[in-house]
A and B are shown apart, each in its own frame.
Chain A
Amino acid sequence: SQQGEEDPQALSIQEGENATMNCSYKTSINNLQWYRQNSGRGLVHLILIRSNEREKHSGRLRVTLDTSKKSSSLLITASRAADTASYFCATDGEGGGADGLTFGKGTHLIIQP
């Protein structure tokens, strides 16, 4: 079942600008993760934020989580051409089920040089 939904589906910005993408989900979670995928390759883990955290930073990445709105955002600051990729949010369930992560459909980010 599709839990997370990213928004927008596609985003094109100039190099150096900030990129923001959003994720909404439906049920309670233990944590939410963001992954990056370069064209047709495996997903790479970027950051994990727990349900009791509101904000987390990692390098040029900033993730926020609002459990009351069931939403998260990923901000990439000072974007680079190498940031061109698809970005996925993934959630697990708080209900104790062991079926792992549920991914959204992704935001395709293009950084124009």
Chain B
Amino acid sequence: EAQVTQNPRYLITVTGKKLTVTCSQNMNHEYMSWYRQDPGLGLRQIYYSMNVEVTDKGDVPEGYKVSRKEKRNFPLILESPSPNQTSLYFCASSPWWGTEAFFGQGTRLTVV
């Protein structure tokens, strides 16, 4: 089954404790991206990747890192999480930018 898999689905952590949210897709898509969704703000892009070893900042990259060492995986790293990063995070992949995107089920992150 074609899918984008994120883990974990829920995470509560403390300020400053490094964490990684994993994302994997099995559709051989070139393009992957991370979004955060906050009430009243909609979805905002954090980072995106056009291919292996090619990543770039989206609209709200501060406090986040990503890597794309393999085509299928695109982890989101929070080196020192802060409470303002409490949000619902989505990973998405698509054949190319601007085409139909497939979303993961989301990761609800709470930073206390």
Task: Point out residues on A near B: beta carbons under 8 Å.
Answer: 1-2, 30-31, 33, 35, 40-45, 48, 88, 90, 92-93, 98-106
| A-B pairs under 8 A by CB, number | 70
Contact B106 A41 (CB under 8 A): yes
Contact A43 B45 (CB under 8 A): no
Give the docked Cα–Cα distance between A11 and B48 (Å): 32
Given the known interface contacts A1-B59, A40-B88, A42-B103, the answer about A99 and B43 at a Cβ–Cβ threshold of 8 Å is no
A sample of 7 inter-chain contacts (CB < 8 A) reads A35-B101, A40-B106, A42-B90, A43-B103, A100-B31, A100-B45, A101-B45
- The interface size of chain B toward A, counting residues with CB under 8 Å, comes to 30
Contact A100 B98 (CB under 8 A): yes
Query: Which chain B residue shows the least CB distance to A103?
Result: B43
Residues of B within 8 A of A99 (CB): 45, 48, 56, 58-59, 97
Contact B100 A45 (CB under 8 A): yes
Give the docked Cα–Cα distance between A93 and B41 (Å): 20
At the interface, is chain B mostly helix, strand, loop or mixed? Answer: strand
At the interface, is chain A mostly helix, strand, loop or mixed? Answer: loop
Contact A101 B98 (CB under 8 A): yes
Which of A30, A35, A40 is close to B108, meaning CB atoms less than 8 Å apart? A40
Contact B108 A98 (CB under 8 A): no
Residues of B within 8 A of A41 (CB): 105-106
B63-103 interface bits toward A, Cβ cutoff 8 Å, 1 = contact, 0 = none: 00000000000000000000000001010101001111111
Give the docked Cα–Cα distance between A100 and B90 (Å): 14
Residues of A within 8 A of B4 (CB): 42
